[in-house]
Amino acid sequence: MQKENWGTRLGFILAAAGSAIGLGTVWRLPYVAGEQGGGLFFFIFIALLLTVGTSLLLAEFVLGRSTKEGAIEAYRKVAPKGQWHWIGIIGMIAAFLLLSFYSVVGGWITTYFVRSFTGNVTSPPDGDHGALFESITSNPWEVGLAHLAFMIMTILVVQMGIKKGIEKASLYMMPALFIIFLILMVRSLTLDGAWEGVVYFLQPDFSAVSSETFLFALGQAFFSLSLGVSVMVTYSSYLDNKASLPGSAWSVVLLSVLIAFMAGLAIFPAIYAFGLQPDEGPSLIFVVIPAVFQQLAFGEAFFMIFMLLMLFATLTSAFSLIEIIVTPFVRGKEHLRKRVTWAVGLLIFAMGIPSNLSFGLLADFHIFGLTFFDAVDFLVSNILLPLGALLISLFVAYKMKPSIMQEELLRGSRFGKGFYFIWLIMIRVVVPLSIIVVFVSQLIQ
């Protein structure tokens, strides 16, 4: 039994939405959407989010809140015999590795944010944004320090605990994130020529949709909701018994969709208005966006708040990734939280160093043809996350007591038994099957 809890249901929802809304949502999703059929991809993504994604999110919530335990003990409590707690351990390993390179990008964002105060990011001395990005990311000292700074910010919040740390930070950062997006979206949509970007982002392009699109959309749906790592199990274990789980899940999903949508509408119109092309990978936010802001009145200021927004989005996801590792160590021993958080955070930083150097000193070091950064990303995103998602859905569907599941799902909510049965079919059949399809086809590729 854990002592600490979220102070309010809103705090829980914002923290969970903060975990969901991260680099995957505000940066990768709009880009992939543009490439994979625009509005149609978005439609498929939202449909999957509302069905398969929400079902699995509810499964994690049901497991977390009914057991009130984190990544390892939640599984042990439901199935004391057997090795089921390995699902939690896999999740902790996945979170550890994910944060190790996620924090590298967090470091880049930190550097760009700090540098934007000097005014030389949107207008680099020789006018070449790509060269600036390369020179920054290949400089081990600058990005190393920024990487460390990002991890320390994460640690400083998480060591304060669930209510005083993560919840409080989310209560400030998430509304700020929303307001900044709103400002940027309005600015972007009111530029001359913005419409072309809206079209790129949202016009359904049937020719770009293939079976691959569904795979992308499903993988993205899970990643966007932080599923498969027991993050949502952990967060919901700190939730009181009154809150409605379906209601909370809808709020988290709707906030994620809304922000993803706003991200697309803030980024693409501005890019097209200035005759630039959306580009793949990190270059979109670090090379193309600075070039966009360069041409805007008060561009440096807009860029600064854009980076602040990215920083908030990345930090709130980082909190959840470190918390799932911290929770099992500090359950019932909250006094250890500070020490454990620092130890885990610094280890993650150390693990991230080779990923960081992948853009400089270690650029030529390859594992299966991938740089260290890409290899860790591949292992986490394409193997550990889908595997975790599959195991969690099977575990909840077949190992938990139906009476407990039903009680937990419906308590405090407006839904009746029909909803429970639909959800049951989803997590027993539809969710595992769709993950298996995605998994197998990714491995074949």
Would you tell me which residues interact with ligand PHE (CB under 6 A)? 19-20, 22-25, 223-224, 226, 229, 231, 317, 320-321
Give the phi and the psi of residue 367 in degrees, each rounded to 5. Answer: -120, 120
Helices (runs of H) and strands (runs of E) counted in the chain: 23, 2
Q: Which is nearer to ligand PHE, 132 or 309 (CB)?
A: 309
d(CA 168, CA 397): 34
Distance in Å, CB of 205 to ligand PHE, minimum: 24
- Minimum CB separation from ligand PHE for residue 229, in Å? 5
- DSSP assigned state of 367: E
> What's the min distance (Å) between Cβ of 258 and ligand PHE?
14
The phi-psi region of residue 82 (left if phi > 0; otherwise alpha if psi is between -120 and 50; otherwise beta) is left
CB of 253 to ligand PHE, least distance (A): 12
CB of 324 to ligand PHE, least distance (A): 8
105 HSE (CA, 13 A, CB side): 26
What is the 8-class DSSP label of residue 243?
S
For ligand PHE, the closer CB: 296 or 344: 344
Specify the residue, 19 or 356, whose C-beta has the smaller distance to ligand PHE.
19
Distances in whole angstroms, Cα of residue 5 to Cα of each of 12, 63, 240, 257, 304: 9, 16, 7, 27, 35
Nearer to ligand PHE, 235 or 420 (CB): 235
Q: Are 64 and 74 in contact (CB under 8 A)?
A: yes
And the tokens for 119?
């005014």
Query: Which residues, 6 or more positions from 424, have their beta carbon under 8 angstroms from its beta carbon?
Result: 397, 402, 405
- Residue with Cβ nearer ligand PHE (239 or 321): 321
Smallest separation, CB 37 to ligand PHE (Å): 20
If the CB atoms of residues 25 and 66 are measured against ligand PHE, the closer one turns out to be: 25
Nearer to ligand PHE, 108 or 420 (CB): 108
Least Cβ distance, residue 60 to ligand PHE (angstroms) = 11
Strands 366-367 and 370-371: antiparallel
Give the HSE-up count for residue 101: Cα atoms under 13 Å, Cβ half-sphere.
21
Q: For residues 312 and 227, give the distance between their C-alpha atoms in angstroms, rounded to a whole number.
A: 20
